[in-house]
Structure formats: C-alpha cells, structure tokens
Amino acid sequence: MAPFLAFEDKGVRSSGALPLVLIHGHPFDRTMWAPQVAAFAPGRRVIVPDLRGYGASPVVPGVTPLSVFADDIAALLDDLGVGAFALAGLSMGGQIAMECYARFPERIRALVLADTFPAAETPAGRAARNAAADRLLREGMGPYADEVLYRMVAPYADPAVAAHVHRMMTGAPPEGAAAALRGRAERPDYRALLTRVAVPALVVVGEDDTYTPVAEARAMHEAIEGSVLRVVARAAHLPNLERPEEFDAALAGLLEGL
C-alpha cells in the first residue's frame, strides 16, 4: 500500500549515517526544508514529509491532534523501512517532534527543536487558535499570509525567501491548516517530557523570533540535560530559510557527534 503522506526521500542510504527526518511547521510544506535537503542529502538519507492537510498530502478536515501527526510520521517511516533516525521539527513541527519522542523514543537517536515551545495552550490561546481556524475557513489563506509574513520571516529577510514563505502559506489548504490549529489548541504539556530526553539534542531559535522568543528556547535548553542552544542572528521564526548556513552548521554539529 502506498504511504499516506506525500514525501521526499533523498540522499545516500548506504553511508552508515542515521537518516534525518524533517518536520515542517504551520502553514508550510516540505519545501520549507529545501536548503537542508540540499546540504545533508549528499551524506545521508533525508526524509521530508508533507504533514496531513498540507502540501501534496491528503486533506482531512475537522481536528488533527499532534498525536495523529506523530502516528503518520511513524507509519511513513515503517513503510520506508526506517528504524532509528535523527528527528528535527520547527514550530508546530517541533511540537510534533516532541509528541514523537513521547510515543516512540526508542527510534529517535537525536532531537532538534527549532523555534517551538513545549507548554500546553492557555485558555486564551485555545480560543485564539480556534478563532484563527474559523478565519481560515471563512477567508482562505491569503489575508492570514499577508498579515503574518513579516513575523514568520524578519522584515529584512531576503525577498526571495519571503516570497517562498508567502507561496507556501497561500498554497496551504485552509481545511487542513484549520484542523491543525484546532489540534494544537488541545496539545499536551511537554515540559516534563523534555527533562527525560536522553539523546543528543539541539535547540535552535531565530534571534528576532516573536512567536517563540529566545527565552522559550533557553528554557527548553535548560530542561534538556546536555542539549546545545544556538541563537541565529538576523532571523525570525524560520532561521533554516533565513540563515541556512548558520542553521545547517548547528545541525551538522549535532549529527557529526552521533
């Protein structure tokens, strides 16, 4: 049976290096990771899915909990014959990565949490996410994309990067994006989980990220024993696209140490 998720599976399978799995954020798709695929596929297998409801993957309306996203990732990797792997996620993808670690930690040999945060949603936050989901269904993705573009990337970002981010956002199916927002509104609290992470870990954040500020990243770093913190200068919420060289250097440092 064909995998449920659309995905890219690139790189060298026989190198002996752990496969690298990259999980995108909301409301993006797997092309968010294009610089990292280009950088790391020459030396290892790199697997990059479109989450359900995004990109070329099936759209499932309603509510998509983070647990469902995590189970989709596990099923895809089962289909591809991947046992152990290094896992990186950004923003919502970072929360999905934490859920993956909660559900199948024995498969995850390294963990990268970028521009994300572990706490459960507040009552006000739940209301805001559900209202945002209603808005996407009512208006489509365009007005939202226009409004948040220069929080996703910094106002001084390369225009080509900003254009790519805007295309991803406007191309996201509103039903899938809304379902993810409703699922994230009900997410669990992962802060205790972070204190139990027992694999090499990297926490990355853009210096000018206003969604998940540096203080959030520092708290995650302090919770994960032995983790490395990298603050990427002149980047906002998407340092992997805004400053790929710096992001890739931090990721390479983690992977080379495995």
CA distances from 253 to 109, 201, 219, 242, 248 (A): 14, 11, 21, 19, 8
Sheet holding 7-11, edge to edge: 7-11, 45-49, 20-23, 85-90, 108-114, 201-206, 228-232
Six token digits for residue 151: 């929080």
3-state SS assignment for residue 81:
coil
Are the beta carbons of 74 and 103 closer than 8 angstroms?
yes
User: Mean pLDDT score of the chain, rounded to an integer?
Assistant: 97
Task: Name the more confident of 242 and 3.
Answer: 242
Residue 1 has pLDDT above 70, yes or no: no
Q: What is the DSSP letter of 29?
A: -
113 bridge partner residues: 89, 203
Q: Average pLDDT for residues 51-64, to the nearest whole number?
A: 97
Q: Residue 13 and residue 207: Cα distance in Å, rounded?
A: 35
And the tokens for 168?
Answer: 């991803």
What are the beta bridge partners of residue 137?
none
Give the separation between CA 80 and CA 3, rounded to whole angstroms: 9
**Pairing status of strand 228-232 against strand 201-206:** parallel
CA distance 111 to 104: 12
In angstroms, the CA 46 to CA 48 distance is 7
Mean pLDDT of 229-238: 98
Per-residue pLDDT, averaged over 214-219, amounts to 98
Tens digits of per-residue pLDDT, 131-159? 999 999 999 999 999 999 999 999 999 99
Residue (of 18, 67, 61, 15) closest to 42 by Cα position: 15
The type of residue at 55 is G
Listed residue (114, 72, 104, 88) closest to 258, CA to CA: 88
Tell me, what amino acid is at 156? Y
CB distance 258 to 200 below 8 Å: yes
Please tell me the predicted confidence (pLDDT) of residue 3. Answer: 87
Mean of pLDDT values over 191-212? 98
10 Å Cβ neighbour count for 104?
15
Three-point CA angle 187, 190, 192, nearest 5°: 145
Report the largest interatomic distance among the alpha carbons of the chain, rounded to a whole angstrom.
Answer: 49
DSSP annotation of 86 reads: E
Q: What are the tens digits of pLDDT across the range 11-33? A: 988 778 999 999 999 999 999 99
